[in-house]
Each structure stands twice: as C-alpha cells, then as structure tokens.
Amino acid sequence: MTRRRWIADEVSGNTAALTGAHAEHLAVVLRAQPGQRFDVAAAGVLRAARVVSVSPSRVEFELEQELLAPSLAVLTLLLAVYKFDRMEWAIEKCVELGVARVVPVLARRTDAHLARAAEARVDRWRRLAMQASEQARRAAPAAVESPEKLKQAVLRTAATRILLAEAEDQKSLKEALQTRTADDEVLLAIGPEGGWTEDELTLFSEAGWVSASLGPTILRAETAAIAATAIVFSELA
C-alpha cells in the first residue's frame, strides 16, 4: 500500500514536524496515532518516517531511511493575475503536474481590483501549492512568489523562456521546447483573460523571449496554463 506523503514544516536532524493547520489536518481529521508510518519530505529529502507524538497543533516524526524521489524538470510559471477562483484552479493543477514555482504577474489587462488584492492572496495561494504538492507526492513544495509587475518579470533569466501568445502562428510550444538542453530551467509566461497587449508582446520580444502557440483555438487562461504545463513535462520527461 502506498503511504501518504507529507512535507515537513520543521526539520532538525532526524526529527521533523507538521505545525498549525497542517498538523491539525493529520491529527484531527485523519486521526493520526503514534507509531503510524508515512513518507515525509524533509528539507527537500524524502524519508520514511514514524509518528512519535500527536497534538492538534503539532505532529512530530522520527525520520528514517532516505527514499528515492523522481526528478522533474524545473518549470517556473509566470501567471498573469486574473479571476481568483480560476487562477487558484490553475495553480493547484499546475503544481500537481510538477511546476516548481509560480510568479503572479500584474499585466495590462489584469483587473485593477484584482491587482490591488493580489498581495493579500499570496498566503492562500501558498497553502494551495503546499496541498497540491503533497497530493502529487512531491519531495518539496512548489513556491508561490509575491506578485510582480510585468516589466520586472520579463527580466527573469533562464536558458529557455517561452511566451504563450495567441498571435503566434509559426511555432508550437513543442517546437519551442526543442532548444532546451538538459537541466535548464524553463520559464513559461501565461497571459490574462483577453491576452497580452501589443506593447507587452514587444516587451517580451525585446527581452529575448520566444513566442509559442498551443494551437488555433482560443483557451481560457487557466486551461492554457494547465495544458501548457502538461506539454512541458511530457516533452521533457
């Protein structure tokens, strides 16, 4: 039987712990007991673990042998901020698929109210990313960074930087990924509802990003994010 996996909030030597609401879920909802065994990702290393103490605010583990964890390509998703319910769906599913980092981006077509509220939403997005990471049995949680203005986000560096653009009709995402070499980080930018504006496309182009398409159909932002993430991991597996 596959053991449930947790990502530790605290690690010290051969001891790890879940705290706060994280611990409450295991202690109260799942009714964990001392002696139960789980897999625990501790500081990025996957270990077998045994529960040694349980309370609603803290569950402690004794860490045992290291376990083999699969290696994924490093994908950072630059996700333009849009309606929060749809954006949260995209974050959750993209993290389950393997995204290492999500950077919320304030684009020209990001609603002004959503742009103002985005910073206050980051903690919730991080909790969703943690839950999705555990759901997908990852060895480390995906990071969600603070929102960035587009002019700052386009300056991020990586060997492979791909902009998904509706106007692109020459190069597919699959073709754009063919230039990547082993162990390169991939940056993938997904626009807001309504797409990128012409001046934003120019900004990406001048910064050296490569434009790519998901095909002839027009997708919702969350659909594009999930589909593109799946393609990246399929191509780079």
Integer Cα distance of 109 and 174 in angstroms: 27
**pLDDT digit string, tens, across residues 204-229:** 999 999 999 998 888 899 999 999 99
Specify the domain boundaries for CATH 2.40.240.20 within the chain.
Answer: 5-66
Name the fold adopted by 5-66. Answer: Ribosomal Protein L25; Chain P (2.40.240)
78-122 pLDDT, tens digit each: 999 999 999 999 999 999 999 999 999 999 999 999 999 999 999
Q: Each residue of 159-181: pLDDT tens digit?
A: 899 999 887 777 899 999 987 76
For 75-236, CATH gives 3.40.1280.10
DSSP state letters, 121-190:
HHHHHHHHHHHHHHHTT-SSPPEEPPPEEHHHHTT---SEEEEE-TT--S-BHHHHGGG--TT--EEEEE
Buried b (16+ CB within 10 A) or exposed e, 160-175: bbbbbbbebeeeebee
Residues forming CATH 3.40.1280.10 domain(s) in the chain: 75-236
pLDDT band at 43 (very low <50, low <70, confident <90, very high): confident
Are residues 232 and 73 in contact, defined by beta-carbon separation less than 8 angstroms?
Answer: yes
